[in-house]
Amino acid sequence: MRILVPPSLGQDLPQDPPRTVTPQARAAKRDKKSRPKPNPPTSSSGAGTLVRQVFDDGARDRLVGNVAGHLRNGVSEPVLQRAFEYWRNVDKQIGDRIADAVREGA
C-alpha cells in the first residue's frame, strides 16, 4: 500500500514490495475453483428441525399464535401469501395452522 503525501512535504514514503504469487498458491487457488460447491441448505431446514424435533406441542401452539397474531396486524395479501408459503416450507402442518389462524381471526 502506498501512502500519498502532498509534494510540498518533499518526501516519498517507502512502498511495500511487490507481492509474488508462488506456484503453490496458484495451484491451490486453481484447485479451489475446480472443486464442486456443496449444495447450500435451504433456509427452512433448521427451522423445520426446530419445530418438529425440539418444540413440544405447547411451543408449537405458541408459535402459531405468535406468528398469526403478527400477520393479522394489517399485513397485505401478497405478504401473507409469502409468509404462509415460508411456514409451509418449514413445516406443512404449522404453515396450514398459521394460515387457518390468520383467516379465522381476520
User: Residue 32 CB: number of other CB atoms within 10 A?
Assistant: 8
3-state secondary structure of 26: helix
pLDDT truncated to tens, each residue of the chain (106 aa)? 666 666 655 556 566 666 777 888 888 777 777 776 665 555 557 888 899 999 999 999 999 999 999 999 889 999 999 999 999 999 999 999 999 999 997 5
3-state secondary structure of 74: coil
Whose cell is 405458541? That residue is 62
Q: Which residues contact 24 (CB under 8 A, 6 or more apart)?
A: none
> Please, are residues 69 and 63 in contact by the beta-carbon 8 Å criterion?
no
Q: Report the length, in residues, of the chain.
A: 106
How high is the pLDDT of residue 55? Answer: 92
Rounded CA-CA distance 78/83 in Å is: 9
- For the chain, which residues make up each domain, given as ranges? 56-105
Q: Which of 76, 74, 59, 72 is nearest to 99 (CA)?
A: 72
